[in-house]
């Protein structure tokens, strides 16, 4: 029996305590048939990366509302690369100004979904990108 | 064997990733798992294999966080496999047991892995036994399996592990709950968690009464321990009892250990049968046609079952 499930880590880096968005995303991904590992509030980039590696996820989704996204999100990408896991897809969500999005994308964050994004948009995004990744033999 | 030997090199995150990816393959592909494990499997009597079960919210993950802390003080390498339910509708899952173990996230000697139950009832996942055998084979000193929040009959954990810790909390049910068959019978150690909450004495008394009724037939009498996991209270005693049970299994009662290994191997065979039978009938066109007929009332489901039974007999003997 062979069955591949998409595994996603949903994490909250930094110090804000608002996890409603993260939990909403986690549930919609579950309903889309994915296995979602939720690690809770106030995680450091290094603890997120350790969890992503041990759980062997395909995708890391970072929810952030504190304003520290320009520091924390690129740091997660950087640490994944340092630990030989640069192939793991990283996306972000939360209160992130339009003006910051190009900077984050330049630093390896594949996509940013701001509040109000319908769930089928990011479900489709994850499915397509993971598929592409698997096709490349990753 | 060479590839797997590499996993035992001093802790590098690259090895961690290799290990994690192998577990994914074991989980997704039972054939791969069998090939790999037929090479590296050993009945490793050194490793301590613990199962933690109990109802949802009993504090299993928090208790594991504490147990891991104690074993780390002794320099042990520890793997935790935490199982959460998969959705019967979407097949997806939210795996949240890690949250309570965050104090060990950065410890390179603690490997935590979440698993979805993937449609399997009984408290564990189909691949749990393979993942567990893999983790002991690559040299973890302690492997801890956390079941899904278990009900009265989720007893499969007893087939897998050496010691079953049943975590209970005060105030969940009346006296009769304790006397029911099933999960209450599989505990090697009873952990009464949240022992600072009202109702503790009553729960302790109920468990002790249940054990008194059984004592004549067994030579291991499960201890009943009070713990407050969030405060770390009672953990030292618990660790001592875990060790005592391990000693009991290895030294004083070889028979018990053999029985456990036998159960585990039988379980592996049953799972294979289940997988093959399910696999061959899941999308069987003729079977689907029969079921449709039964739904329409054109055939009686009991005659369908009778026919099916005949077909299975042919399959098995042929």
Is the ipTM, as predicted for this complex, more than 0.85? yes
Dist CA B49 CA A85 (whole Å):
30
Expressed in angstroms, the distance from the first to the final Cα of chain A is 21
Asked if pLDDT for residue B2 goes beyond 50, the answer is no
Mean pLDDT in chain A? 92
- 8-state DSSP, B85: P
CB neighbour class for B284 (10 Å; exposed up to 12, middle 13-18, buried from 19): exposed
Q: Which among A5, A43, A54 is the nearest to B111, CB-wise?
A: A54
**Other residues' Cβ atoms within 10 Å of the Cβ of residue B44:** 16
Q: How confident is residue A70, by pLDDT bands cut at 50, 70 and 90?
A: very high
Is A38 in Cβ contact with B106 (below 8 Å)?
Answer: no
Lowest mean pLDDT among B53-62, B117-126, B222-231, B285-294: B117-126
Q: Which among B17, B99, B279 is the nearest to A53, CB-wise?
A: B17
- Sequence-distant (6+) residues with CB within 8 A of B275 are A1, B30, B126
Q: Which among B20, B29, B98 is the nearest to A56, CB-wise?
A: B20
Is A2 in Cβ contact with B106 (below 8 Å)?
Answer: no
**Torsion sign, CA atoms A114, A119, A123, A128:** negative
Asked if pLDDT for residue B256 goes beyond 90, the answer is no
Q: Which among A5, A32, A56 is the nearest to B23, CB-wise?
A: A56
The answer to whether B21 and B13 have CB atoms below 8 angstroms apart is: no
* A11 contacts in chain B (CB < 8 Å): none
Q: What is the mean pLDDT of residues B25-44?
A: 85
More confident residue, B215 or B90: B90
pLDDT at B1: 40
**Other residues' Cβ atoms within 10 Å of the Cβ of residue B87:** 17
- Sequence-distant (6+) residues with CB within 8 A of A109 are A62, A73, A74, A77, A90, A91, A92
- Ordered alpha helix ranges (H), A32-100: 45-54, 69-82
* B106 contacts in chain A (CB < 8 Å): 46-47, 50
pLDDT at A44: 93
- 8-state DSSP, A17: -
- Sequence-distant (6+) residues with CB within 8 A of A73 are A13, A62, A64, A90, A92, A104, A107, A109
pLDDT at B282: 67
pLDDT, one tens digit per residue, over B123-170 is 778 789 899 989 988 889 999 999 988 777 777 888 888 899 999 998
Provide the edge-to-edge strand list for the sheet that holds A35-38.
A111-113, A89-94, A59-64, A7-11, A35-38, B93-95
Q: Report yes or no: B29 at the A interface, CB cutoff 8 Å.
A: yes
Is A37 in Cβ contact with B114 (below 8 Å)?
Answer: yes
Is A84 in Cβ contact with B14 (below 8 Å)?
Answer: yes
* B103 contacts in chain A (CB < 8 Å): none
pLDDT at B182: 77
Q: What is the mean pLDDT of residues A127-132?
A: 88
* Phi, psi torsion values for B119, nearest 5 degrees: 80, 5
pLDDT, one tens digit per residue, over A79-112 is 999 999 999 999 999 999 999 999 999 999 999 9
pLDDT at A128: 94
Both structure tokens of A84: 């030989």
Is A53 in Cβ contact with B29 (below 8 Å)?
Answer: no
Q: How far is A61 from chain B (nearest CA, A)?
A: 14
Is B93 in Cβ contact with A35 (below 8 Å)?
Answer: yes
Q: Report yes or no: A18 at the B interface, CB cutoff 8 Å.
A: no
pLDDT at B12: 52
More confident residue, A138 or B226: B226
Q: How confident is residue A49, by pLDDT bands cut at 50, 70 and 90?
A: very high
Q: Express as a percent the part of chain A with pLDDT over 90.
A: 83
Is B17 in Cβ contact with A85 (below 8 Å)?
Answer: yes
* Helix (H) or strand (E) segment spanning residue B183: none
Asked if pLDDT for residue B9 goes beyond 60, the answer is no
- 8-state DSSP, B191: E
Q: How confident is residue A31, by pLDDT bands cut at 50, 70 and 90?
A: very high
B40: helix, strand or coil: helix
* Phi, psi torsion values for B168, nearest 5 degrees: -125, 160
Dist CA B17 CA A79 (whole Å):
13
Q: What is the mean pLDDT of residues B179-192?
A: 83
Q: What is the mean pLDDT of residues B257-272?
A: 79
More confident residue, B10 or A89: A89
Dist CA B124 CA B277 (whole Å):
20
Both structure tokens of B212: 């008194």
Is A54 in Cβ contact with B112 (below 8 Å)?
Answer: yes
Q: Express as a percent the part of chain B with pLDDT over 70.
A: 87
Q: Which of B24-28, B57-61, B234-238, B259-263 has the highest mean pLDDT?
A: B234-238
Nearest CA in chain A to B103: A47
């Amino acid at each position: 029996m062979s069955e591949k499930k998409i595994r996603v880590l949903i994490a909250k880096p930094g110090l804000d305590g608002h996890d409603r968005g993260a939990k909403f995303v986690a549930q919609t991904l579950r309903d889309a048939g994915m296995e979602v590992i939720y690690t809770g509030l106030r995680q450091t980039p290094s603890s997120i990366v350790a969890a992503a590696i041990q759980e062997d996820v395909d995708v890391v989704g970072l929810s952030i509302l504190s304003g520290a996204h320009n520091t924390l999100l690129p740091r997660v990408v950087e640490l994944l690369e340092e630990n030989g896991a640069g192939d793991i897809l990283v996306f972000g969500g939360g209160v992130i100004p339009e003006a910051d999005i190009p900077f984050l994308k330049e630093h390896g964050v594949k996509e940013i979904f701001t509040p109000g994004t319908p769930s089928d948009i990011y479900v489709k995004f994850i499915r397509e990108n993971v598929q592409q990744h698997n096709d490349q033999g990753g | 064997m060479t590839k797997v030997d590499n996993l035992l090199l001093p802790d590098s995150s690259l090895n961690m990733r290799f290990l994690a990816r192998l577990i994914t393959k074991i989980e997704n592909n039972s054939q791969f798992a069998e090939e790999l494990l037929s090479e590296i499997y050993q009945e490793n009597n050194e490793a301590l294999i613990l199962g933690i079960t109990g109802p949802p919210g009993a504090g299993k993950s928090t208790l594991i966080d504490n147990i891991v802390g104690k074993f780390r003080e002794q320099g042990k390498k520890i793997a935790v496999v935490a199982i959460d339910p998969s959705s019967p509708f979407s097949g997806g899952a939210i795996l949240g047991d890690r949250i309570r173990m965050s104090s060990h996230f950065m410890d390179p000697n603690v490997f935590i892995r979440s698993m979805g139950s993937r449609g399997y009832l009984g408290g564990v996942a189909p691949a749990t036994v393979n993942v567990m055998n893999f983790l002991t084979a690559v040299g973890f000193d302690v492997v801890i399996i956390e079941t899904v929040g278990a009900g009265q009959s989720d007893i499969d954990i007893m087939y897998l592990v050496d010691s079953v810790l049943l975590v209970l909390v005060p105030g969940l049910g009346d006296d009769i709950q304790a006397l029911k068959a099933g999960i209450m019978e599989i505990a090697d150690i009873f952990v009464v968690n949240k022992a600072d909450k009202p109702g503790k004495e009553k729960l302790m008394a109920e468990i002790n009464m249940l054990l008194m009724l059984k004592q004549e037939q067994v030579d291991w009498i499960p201890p009943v321990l009070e713990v407050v996991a969030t405060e770390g209270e009672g953990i030292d005693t618990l660790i001592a009892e875990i060790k005592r049970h391990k000693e009991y299994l290895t030294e004083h009662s070889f028979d018990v250990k053999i029985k456990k290994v036998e159960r585990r191997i039988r379980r592996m065979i049953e799972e294979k049968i289940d997988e093959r039978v399910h696999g061959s009938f899941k999308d069987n066109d003729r079977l689907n046609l029969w079921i449709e007929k039964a739904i329409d009332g054109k055939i009686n489901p009991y005659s369908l079952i009778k026919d099916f039974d005949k077909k299975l007999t042919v399959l098995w003997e042929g």
